[in-house]
Structure formats: structure tokens, C-alpha cells
Amino acid sequence: MNAPKLLVSLFLLFALALSACGGSSSQPTAPSPVGSTETQSPPSAAQTTTKGKIVISNWDAYMPADLLEKFTAETGIQVELALHATNEEIVGKLVASKGKGFDVVFMTGQFADAMAKMGLLSEIDYTKLPNSTNLFDEVKRIPFTKYAVPYTWGTTGLCYRSDLVNYEPDSWYDLLKPKAELVGKITMLSTDRWLLLPAQKALGFSANTTDEAEMQQVKELLIEAKKTLLAYDDTTFYSKLVSGEALLVEAWDGWCNYGIAENPDIRFVIPKEGSDLWVDAMVIPEPSENKEAAYAFIDYVLRPEIGTWVAENILYKVPNRAVMGQLSADLLNSFENLTIPPQELLKQEALQDVGEAQSLYSSVVAEVLASGQ
């Protein structure tokens, strides 16, 4: 999961909050990895044919600490790492520079979609990515993968204390029109796409709707729901679950895992009305002057051992069949939502760029957040 979605990455005791949503810099404590596996990939042809230097931009701690060093040792390609805290930050840089200055950028799908529409991204030639055969076939159904290579993916749902809630929540209305026992014990995400998502789906609308009448209904439902909330919270909601301050929260599946790591009574469920499919991906800006080296880097990242690190340390699902098929039983038993199959994820709606309607989204969110003050 940044600017609209605050995505947090964790490496052992280090953590980052971004956002595939939000834009916060607070850092939750990472859970200890459960289980450990190692898989080695055959060397890529690029390692002996491509040299030079590339500049990549990523969220902090969103890949193994030694990845760049190992990549350079194997390929001879030098890497300069830039960090961005949010999607909005890196998008601003790319727009200002017209895509210049970077060779590989990690960003969330709807932002990649927007950048592609602006002509700032290079179309991906998957024949230059031998390790892309590790990706699930379902990945091809995600619209923006023409310009973006998926790195992690997941969904948004309900994260709750099964030991303190006397029923099993299964609907967005459990969040929006809660039972009396949950009033004042609920948190929701505050960043645009994720604040709107529960109401959009509860009302049967698309998570990418641009219809003003539908968005008016979304606004009205969210303003009413706000009266029952404990807080809007993009970064510490799982800690509130652990402490019992909150009993039910809107959460990205990976972030719910951070709570589960501390309290196994915490559960995650995708609401019956459906949810989103979020994807963090790697893109190549069109002006990149070393695209062959950029492809070599992306292909390296698609190796199973990299995806295994992501699943074990960040606790996010990866769209890599070579990884998900061999994760340890301990890990999967501890974090059951890691087992959500691609077919189930693809039933959810991929978040896409809404174009000019983004101003409508921002306006609705602003009105909801300001209501009741």
C-alpha cells in the first residue's frame, strides 16, 4: 500500500510510514519475522551485458538493506538510491522534471496510472524481464501493468478484536453504522481514496466513480459515520487494537498483520460488498537514459528471494507465485490474510486514476473531515 494510501514498510526493527496512503512519517515498531526461507534464482542475462548507473526512488526500508550492494556486485551496475515518503512527493518530482532524473521508481498503482496518462512512463517490455514469469497470471488483468511491474499487492478491509467483539463483522456497514458496543471504538483511514472506499462499496458504487450524485451520497454517509468514530487514523490504528482502545478499524491487510503480530486475537476480513485492490509497483520513467540497466534491476527484484524477504519482513503479499507457494507454514498460520489467493484479490476493484474527478474526491474528503467541528 502512500499519499492516498499510507504504505508502511518494515525491515526487522526498522519501519516506515508513507503511503501508498497519507503522507505521515511516524514509524511503527516492526513485528519479528516468522519463519525463514531462501530461494535462489538463476542469473539474469543482463548481469553480464549491462553496465552504467541508475537512480531509483523508493520508500525507506521497502527492500532488503543489502539488495543494492548485491545487485551492483553481480551486475556491475551502480545504483543511487533516493527516498520518497509519499506517492505525492515522487509524483511532484516527476511532473516537475518531466520524468527526468530517475530510472526506476516505486509507486502505488493509481499514481502510475496517472503518470502513464501524462506520457511520463515507458511501456514495460516484459520480454526483458525473464523473472516476470514468476508473477501470477492474474497480474496481467490489472490495467496499469502495461506501464508498471507489481512489487506488492493487497486489499483493504476490517481489522478487529475477535475476543472483544461479540460477532463477526463482515460488512462495511459494521464500520459505518456500528452496533452500540462499537460506537467510539472505531477508526477509519483519512486519506482520500481509503476514507471514501467504505462508503463507496457499501452503497454499491465503484471505488473509481466519477459520478457527482454518487459522491454526494458517499459524503452524507461518511458524515453520519464520523459521529460514531474514535478517530481517523492512518498510522497507529493497529496499536489501538492491541491496547483495546479500538475494537474495529479500517485497515490495509498488511498493516492489520502488524497488530496480529502483537495479538493473535486480531482478525482481518474483506467485507461482503467488496473492496479495493491496491498495488505497489516499479515503473521506468520515459526519459530514462539507461533503460537496459533499469530492466536488469527490476528483473533482479522479481527474484523469489526478494519477494520472500518482503512477505516475511513487511508482511505484505507479493504477486509472485514462486514466493507465495513456498512461504513457511509458521508464517502463513500466524498471518492468515497472506493466504488470500490471487483470484480473491482480483475480485476486488483495482484503484485507478480518476483524472479530473480527483478535485471532487478531495472536496468530499475535506467536507467530511471538517464536519461536526
**3-state SS string over 322-361?**
HHHCCCCHHHHHHCHHHHCCHHHHCCCEECCCCHHHHHHH
Q: Which three cell numbers stand for residue 89?
A: 512527493
Cα 94 from Cα 90, distance rounded (Å): 6
Q: Are 70 and 309 in contact (CB under 8 A)?
A: no
Give the residue-averaged pLDDT of 339-345.
94
Cα 69 from Cα 73, distance rounded (Å): 6
Residue 88 reports pLDDT greater than 60: yes
Hey, which residues does 11 pair with through a beta bridge?
Answer: 14
Residue 31 reports pLDDT greater than 90: no
18 or 92: which leads in pLDDT: 92
Residues 6 or more apart whose CB falls under 8 angstroms from that of 231 comprise 187, 240
Burial class (CB in 10 A: 0-12, 13-18, 19+), 104: buried
Pairing mode, if any, of strands 248-252 and 186-188?
parallel
Residue 3, pLDDT score:
34
Per-residue pLDDT tens digits for 111-136: 999 999 999 999 999 999 999 999 99
Count CB neighbours of 333 within 10 A.
13
Residue 50, pLDDT score:
61
Give the residue-averaged pLDDT of 160-180.
98
Nearest to 83 by CA among 106, 108, 102, 58: 58
277 or 43: which leads in pLDDT: 277
Give the residue-averaged pLDDT of 321-333.
94
Can you tell me whether residue 128 is helix, strand or coil?
helix
Which of the following CATH numbers is that of domain 8-154+278-350: 3.40.190.10, 3.40.50.10320, 1.20.810.10, 3.50.50.60? 3.40.190.10
Q: Are 110 and 145 in contact (CB under 8 A)?
A: no
Residue 39 reports pLDDT greater than 50: no
Give the residue-averaged pLDDT of 41-70.
80
Nearest to 56 by CA among 87, 90, 89, 25: 90
Mean pLDDT, all residues of the chain: 89
Per-residue pLDDT tens digits for 276-311: 999 999 999 999 999 999 999 999 999 999 999 999
The answer to whether 8-154+278-350 and 156-276+352-370 have equal CATH topology is: yes
Nearest to 307 by CA among 318, 315, 296: 318
Cα 96 from Cα 284, distance rounded (Å): 16
Give the residue-averaged pLDDT of 188-207.
97
Using 50, 70 and 90 to split pLDDT, how confident is the model at 5?
very low
Structural domain 156-276+352-370, CATH architecture: 3-Layer(aba) Sandwich (3.40)
User: According to DSSP H, which parts of the chain are helical?
Assistant: 46-49, 67-75, 87-97, 109-117, 173-176, 192-202, 212-226, 237-243, 253-260, 291-301, 304-313, 321-324, 329-334, 342-345, 358-370
Using 50, 70 and 90 to split pLDDT, how confident is the model at 51?
confident
Pairing mode, if any, of strands 276-283 and 349-350?
parallel
Residue 44 reports pLDDT greater than 70: no
Residue 1, pLDDT score:
57
Q: Which three cell numbers stand for residue 256?
A: 492489520
pTM for the complete prediction? 0.85
CA distances for 22 relative to 112, 175, 226, 266, 360, angstroms: 17, 20, 18, 23, 18
Nearest to 152 by CA among 257, 307, 275: 307
Q: Are 80 and 55 in contact (CB under 8 A)?
A: yes
Pairing mode, if any, of strands 276-283 and 104-108?
antiparallel
Boundaries of every domain in the chain = 8-154+278-350, 156-276+352-370
Q: Are 90 and 105 in contact (CB under 8 A)?
A: yes
Residue 143, pLDDT score:
86
Residues 6 or more apart whose CB falls under 8 angstroms from that of 280 comprise 1, 2, 7, 20, 62, 106, 107, 108, 109, 150, 151, 152, 153
Give the residue-averaged pLDDT of 241-251.
98
Hey, which residues does 17 pair with through a beta bridge?
Answer: 8
